[in-house]
């Protein structure tokens, strides 16, 4: 009687190795895809978190909008309550009131290269006489473009639609629309309402 020895034939071993190789390739492809999705999601989450923080900063700053102080001046010229173009906006806000610095501060937002910068010009603390130096920081980065539009009453009490400039002796606008395009192609549109102040 012709018996067969225990073990695998060469053909069985080759088939088993081929199946294991196919499974390994499929598994590594799935893991690689999962890693790419994870990284993309983490990047999007960070980006959304950065944009949410920037939005909250702007919302709080515009929400504390006030008239320029009587003694506010730059090089002898009085600051306006509000100045806005399609790329830059300057306004007074109480958002930064701290111990030793009573009163509002002028806040300037502008797009420089691919980032939105915030500039706070120097002021003097009324309570302590302490001079607060100018501060500049980046609010958002990787911004390809942004435009600012304004809506509100002109001096003749005529309500205007969206315009790209709000300058001169106009009352402050009522609404602002920020349209941003990030470097990754995401588009964001933000609306802000300024509180009414006595003129």
For 158-186, the pLDDT digits (tens) are: 888 899 999 877 888 999 999 999 888 88
pLDDT at 131 over 50: no
User: Is 87 part of a structural domain of the chain?
Assistant: yes
pLDDT at 45 over 70: no
pLDDT at 119 over 80: yes
Are 62 and 84 within 8 A, CB to CB? no
User: Is 170 part of a structural domain of the chain?
Assistant: yes
Q: Are strands 105-112 and 131-132 parallel, antiparallel or unpaired?
A: unpaired
Q: What total number of domains does the chain contain?
A: 1
Q: Is 129 exposed, middle or buried (0-12, 13-18, 19+ CB in 10 A)?
A: exposed
pLDDT at 72 over 70: no
Cross-strand bridge partners of residue 131: 124
Instruction: Give the dihedral of Cα atoms 156, 157, 161, 167; nearest 10 deg.
Output: 60
> How far is the C-alpha of 191 from the C-alpha of 195, rounded, in Å?
13
pLDDT at 141 over 80: yes
Quick one: three-class SS letters along the chain?
CCCCCCCCCHHHHHHHHHHHHHHHHHHHHHHHHHHHHHHHHHHHHHHHHHHHHHHHHHHHHHHCEECCCCCCEECCEECCCEEECCCEEEEEECCCCECCECCCEEEEEEEECCEEEEEECCEECCCCCCEECCEEEEEECCEEEEEEEEEEECCCCCEEEEECCECCCCCCCCEEEEEEEECCCCEEEEEEECCCCCC
What domain range includes position 99?
A: 57-193
User: Is 135 part of a structural domain of the chain?
Assistant: yes
Q: Quote the mean pLDDT of the chain.
A: 79
User: Is 74 part of a structural domain of the chain?
Assistant: yes
Instruction: Give the dihedral of Cα atoms 169, 60, 140, 48; nearest 10 deg.
Output: -140
Which pLDDT value is given to residue 77? 42
Which pLDDT value is given to residue 76? 40
Which pLDDT value is given to residue 3? 59
pTM of the model: 0.68
User: Is 11 part of a structural domain of the chain?
Assistant: no
User: Is 146 part of a structural domain of the chain?
Assistant: yes
User: Is 183 part of a structural domain of the chain?
Assistant: yes
User: Is 130 part of a structural domain of the chain?
Assistant: yes
């Amino acid at each position: 009687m012709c018996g067969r020895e225990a073990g695998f034939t060469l053909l069985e071993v080759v088939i088993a190795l081929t199946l294991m190789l196919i499974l390994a390739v499929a598994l590594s492809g799935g893991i690689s895809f999962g890693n790419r999705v994870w990284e993309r999601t983490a990047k999007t989450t960070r980006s959304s978190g950065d944009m949410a923080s920037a939005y909250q900063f702007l919302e709080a700053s515009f929400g504390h909008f006030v008239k320029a102080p009587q003694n506010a001046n730059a090089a002898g010229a009085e600051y306006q309550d509000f100045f806005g173009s399609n790329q830059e906006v300057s306004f007074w806000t109480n958002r930064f009131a701290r111990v030793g610095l009573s009163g509002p501060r002028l806040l300037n937002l502008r797009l420089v290269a691919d980032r939105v910068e915030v500039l706070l010009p120097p002021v003097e603390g009324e309570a302590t006489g302490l001079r607060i130096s100018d501060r500049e920081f980046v609010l958002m980065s990787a911004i390809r473009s942004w435009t600012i539009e304004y809506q509100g009453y002109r001096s003749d009490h005529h309500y205007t639609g969206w315009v790209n400039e709000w300058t001169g002796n106009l009352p402050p606008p009522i609404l602002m629309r920020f349209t941003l395009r990030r470097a990754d192609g995401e588009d964001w549109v933000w609306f802000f309402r300024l509180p009414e102040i006595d003129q």
